Structure 1
Amino acid sequence: METTAERWERFLDPDAVKPSLFLATMFITAFEILKNSVIDHLRNFYANGWDENGPIISPEYQSRVLSRNKSPLYASFEWLQESGAIGSKDLDQYEKLKKTRNLLAHQLFEVVTGQIESEHEAQFEELLELLRKIELWWVVNLEIATNPDYDGQEIDEAGIVPGSILSLQMLIEVASGNTELLEYWRKAQKQREADA
């Protein structure tokens, strides 16, 4: 257990606080992306079209998904489990991740300054794995399965990087101070302007 002097040392040291704060906020961000992914993919699956307000949801969404649970998130999880996208271990893992997210969201200062222990650093990969598993299921079972360009082709699932994972990877790179993506984007913008 840290002494009061050690906690102050950690709290006042930017080299200790920055990485801790960064990892905590990335965990919260990834967790929210996971929740949105679980709900949004399924809601969009049951969309009959789009208008200025977003997807026009079919009545089937209510009867086949939302009727399962008062929470759209847990109703979606139940649908995903019944469809074979996730298992009961994944749901147990989600609950552990949710506890960690809640700790970070409600006691971020205490976690970042070392007053409260958190498993978020160790669990970050588990969070990404669950997100990737769900996203990959949608890519393989909807996007690829319904695209005739992939008929008869063997799909290397390990080589698929879902959009949400790619976005998170980019965010981590940018937030870590990497400017390569910015420079690439600027170069591409200049090229587009020159081509126009």
Structure 2
Amino acid sequence: MNDTNESWRKLLTSRTLKSNLISISLFLTAFEMFKERVVGLPKTFFMDINKSDEYAINEQYKKDVLSKNNSRVYASLLWLKELGAMDQADIKNFDEIRKHRNELAHNPLSFIADAGKNIDFNKFFCLTNLLCKIEKWWLVHCECLPDMYSHDAEINPDDIVTPSQWTLKLLFDMALENEPKENFYHDGFFNDIQRS
């Protein structure tokens, strides 16, 4: 079968179309979550609370973070790299992920209807792994209170489930219909509310 016929088959097979639309949506959602979290970590780290209990970005944030790059995302990534949360290979991977995200966002129809264009799930998993790596590093090095672990126990990052991990799992399970049972999250949430 030629490429044209395969492209039509890809577009007109409802299960494939649905899967591609959901996958594109999940990739774009995960990417935006990544950007929001990466920019938010240093931004909140450098925030001051003024007398009226409003948050204000201090000059140190501009000096230590924003001065590194014109893009808030890349400036934040460079700051996190400087702290040891990630390395240059991670930034290079993010560059490739961002390029693929731009293709998905600006030309989604080609991934839906062209037999030769497919979503790169390796980039998707690389993105979610990088987000978890950064969040786990942050939780261990910046958010843990010293007295929480005064018994000298080592914190194993593999034992940490980050907010983004939980959110992405919930989205993936529900969007891809992988819940342990139908309405698993819905029923669990509302059953907990009724008990409290």
Fold shared per TM-score above 0.5: yes
Per-residue deviation, 1:70: 1.6
Per-residue deviation, 1:74: 1.4
Task: Give me the identity figure in percent.
Answer: 30
Q: What amino acid sits opposite 2:27 in the alignment?
A: F
Per-residue deviation, 1:116: 5.0
The runs of 5 or more residues in structure 1 that have no matched partner are: none
Distance 1:180 1:2, change over 3 A: farther
Per-residue deviation, 1:44: 0.3
Per-residue deviation, 1:51: 9.0
The runs of 5 or more residues in structure 2 that have no matched partner are: none
TM-score, normalization by structure 1: 0.89
Partner of 1:65: 65
User: Post-superposition, which runs of at least 4 consecutive aligned residues in structure 1 deviate over 6 A?
Assistant: 50-54
Partner of 1:172: 172
| Larger displacement relative to structure 2 (107-116 or 36-45) | 107-116
Partner of 2:149: 150
Partner of 2:25: 25
Q: What amino acid sits opposite 2:192 in the alignment?
A: A
Partner of 1:97: 97
Per-residue deviation, 1:147: 3.9
Q: Aligned-residue CA RMSD in angstroms?
A: 2.1
Per-residue deviation, 1:118: 3.6
TM-score, normalization by structure 2: 0.89
CA–CA distance in 1 between the matches of 2:50 and 2:167? 24
Per-residue deviation, 1:9: 1.9
Per-residue deviation, 1:119: 4.4
- The alignment covers a number of residue pairs equal to 191
Aligned residue runs from structure 1 range 37-76, under 5 A? 37-49=37-49, 55-76=55-76
Q: 1:27-73 CA deviation, whole Å, 9 max, x = no partner?
A: 11111111111110110000112799963212211111112222211
